[in-house]
Amino acid sequence: MRHVVEKQFIVGTKPLSEPVVLILMSLATEPRHGYALLKDVEKLSDGRVQLSTGTLYGAIRRLLEDEWIERFEQEDTSRDKQAYRLTARGRAQLRSELARLRHLVHAATTRLRLGGA
């Protein structure tokens, strides 16, 4: 039996789920509140990923605990919207995950070329 050892780009982390990557990507440009995150994730994924509020807020809770995002006070508090922004730690994590994905895509592309298909 062969054991698989994955190189981790940031020590102690595992590959991120697609919804988490999309949430981090959404927050990479500007702070957003929950509804804006739902809409931006849908847009970033070309409609493939439509998060439920439960999934979104579960992910937000974990991202806050891991200090990858933080709460952000916005001027528009008319409806008590809670906004979030990416932290330096979260940005590093997103960069690491994108590097891992680039490596994976490169390896797959090379294999496809070698296979002659």
Domain boundaries, the chain: 18-114
Q: Does the pLDDT value for residue 32 go beyond 60?
A: yes
Q: Does the pLDDT value for residue 38 go beyond 50?
A: yes
| Helix orientation angle between 18-27 and 88-114, rounded to the nearest 10 degrees | 130
**pLDDT at position 20:** 96
What does R_g of the chain's alpha carbons equal in angstroms? 17
**Residue of 114 and 8 predicted with greater confidence:** 114
Task: Grade residue 115 by pLDDT with cuts at 50, 70 and 90.
Answer: confident
User: Rounded CA gap, 31 and 22, in Å?
Assistant: 14
User: Rounded CA gap, 32 and 72, in Å?
Assistant: 9
Per the DSSP assignment, residues forming a β-bridge with 84 are: 32, 71
CATH number, domain 18-114? 1.10.10.10
